[in-house]
Amino acid sequence: MVYILEQRLKAQGIQQDKSAKVLQDIVRTMFDRSFLSEKLFVPQDMYSLHSTRKIFDRLAHSSIMRLSESSMDKLFDLIVMGAKYQLMCAPRLDDMIQVTLRHLGTVQAILTTAAAASPEGKVDADVINLVSYAEEATIRFYGTLSIGELSLLRQTLARFFQDKRVKVSLFLAEGIQQPSSGKLVAPSCISDQVGLVRSFDDTGRLEREERLHVNSQKADPNEFFCHPVALGDNLYRKDREKAVPPPRSADMDAGKSSAGAQPQQQPAQSTRYVEEQVNKAAVQELDLLAALVQTSKAPADNFKLNLCFDDEADEEAAVQQPQEAGIRTKEEKQLEFGADGKNEGYIKAVGGVLEGLGLDDQQHGKSVGEDLLDLMDSVA
């Protein structure tokens, strides 16, 4: 969230003192000590996506910044897709903790840089201390989890993000998402260990080792493009070199992988009583959490942050069609973060694949290729 807001504040030319204040206010709310110690770093049930969205809504509006409903939706979708990418592409269990610590370190760096550029010239030390406290709490809480607990945690998070597949132009352009289906490109399956067979004698000593021929290890390495920016680092940083993925056959396969990509939603089997209990618990949790997310009244010098190109066009589109983030028609704008025209080579290489893309997660049969290319080439 901080990465995205920092980039948008710069793109919209918000005054540096206001930008610094927005970021510090949000971080101060996000990492409030009592919130972290009493509500966040305690074993608890997973919140729903809806509840989590409301928490971020509160966080975003804890500063002088104001976001429209559609901008908030877009921001949340970007946050969710970014987190999902980092979770599903991490090759090891403890990467979840490393990514979190990297986030926190980068947040501190962003705050320091933003404050240094402002007229005041320095960051509020209390805010930096709050982030440090969050780092310590992360290590203390998650550092002692066993492999089994980390595995369960990962599965729980994967379930939380399941079926959330919003196409983000930055991710599409830099090979993080597959253009045809929006699937996150997986890390490579190729390993020199796969196919090894070891036999042991009665004493446990290695008796024999052989290697089997395994076809999956002959997969094309280009199909598993690995983005050069480390998981957890700031993908939205303007000064970094853009990644250009190689052309992949999986990206060309628009027809097969994109049709009917959405899994069918099965109705819940729970009884009415169980549904009511779950909803009651969710509302209680949300109220308590919202109360702990301390927000102050909006001062007079607040401003509106736009996560879209054209707020008017977006509002008009929202009236015409149900509110959804993702790839939109020419009148609506997609999540066009970070794309600044340096990926024309990649776009050309995948040919007309992008022209067949439908709207957001479902095929609507309308070609959005041209405006998608325009958006991907535009400056954020």
Partner 1 sequence: MQGAALQGIPTDSDTKLDVKKVWDETGANLLYVWKLPRSEPASTQHADFVRGLCFTVSEAGGVLLCVGCSSGSIQVFSVVPGPVIRPTATISGQHSRPITCLGSSYQSRRGAWADDLGSELVSCDDQGRLCVWQIKDEQSLQCVAAAEAGQPCCSVAVRRGFVVAARVDGCVQLYGMKDARLRSELVVASRWLSAMDIHPVKDLVATAAEDCTLGVWALPMCGQKASCLLSVCKYNERLTGAAFCGQGADSVAAVGYDVGALNVWNF
Cα distances from 205 to residues 193, 195, 210, 211, 333, in angstroms, run 19, 20, 15, 18, 63
Residue 172: CB minimum distance to partner 1, A: 13
Contact between 139 and partner 1 by CB under 8 A: the answer reads no
Q: Which of 68, 132, 188, 302 binds partner 1 (CB under 8 A)?
A: 188
Instruction: Say how many CA atoms lie within 13 Å of 2 toward its Cβ.
Output: 28
341 binds partner 1 (CB under 8 A): no
Question: Does 260 help bind partner 1 (rule: CB under 8 A)?
Answer: yes
215 makes contact with partner 1 (CB under 8 A): yes
The answer to whether the CB of 339 falls within 8 A of the CB of 170 is yes
Tell me the closest approach of the beta carbon of residue 206 to partner 1, in angstroms.
Answer: 10
Whether 321 and 332 have beta carbons less than 8 Å apart is answered as yes
* Strand 206-211 relative to strand 303-305, pairing: unpaired
- CA-closest candidate to residue 336, choices 71, 19, 22: 71
Residue 291 C-beta: closest distance to partner 1, Å: 23
228 makes contact with partner 1 (CB under 8 A): no
* Count of positions on this chain that bind partner 1 (CB under 8 A): 59
Residue selected from 39, 53, 68, 223 as contacting partner 1 according to rule CB under 8 A: 223
Candidate residues 210, 241, 301, 312; the one interacting with partner 1 per rule CB under 8 A = 210
Output the smallest distance, CB 357 to partner 1, in A.
16
Plot region of 117 (φ>0 → left; ψ -120 to 50 → alpha; else → beta): alpha
Give min distance, CB of 43 to partner 1, in A: 6
For residues 2 and 27, is the Cβ–Cβ distance under 8 A?
yes
Q: Pick one of 96, 250, 335, 376: the residue that binds partner 1 (CB under 8 A).
A: 250
- Binds partner 1 by CB under 8 A, chosen from 12, 34, 37, 277: 277
CA angle 174, 27, 228 (to 5 degrees): 20
Q: Which phi and psi angles does 195 have, rounded to 5°?
A: 100, -5
Asked if 269 is part of the footprint of partner 1 (rule: CB under 8 A), the reply reads yes
41: which DSSP letter? S
Only one of the segments 2-10, 20-28, 121-129, 200-208 lies at the binding site for partner 1 (rule: CB under 8 A); that segment is 200-208
- Asked if residue 204 binds partner 1 (CB under 8 A), the reply is yes
Question: Do 247 and 222 meet the contact criterion of CB atoms below 8 Å apart?
Answer: yes
- Rounded Cα distance between 348 and 158, Å, is 33
Which residues are at the interface with partner 1 (CB under 8 A)?
Answer: 43, 45, 88, 91-92, 146-149, 151-152, 158-159, 162-163, 165, 178, 181, 183-191, 193-200, 202, 204, 210, 212-217, 219, 223, 248, 250, 260-264, 268-270, 274, 277-278
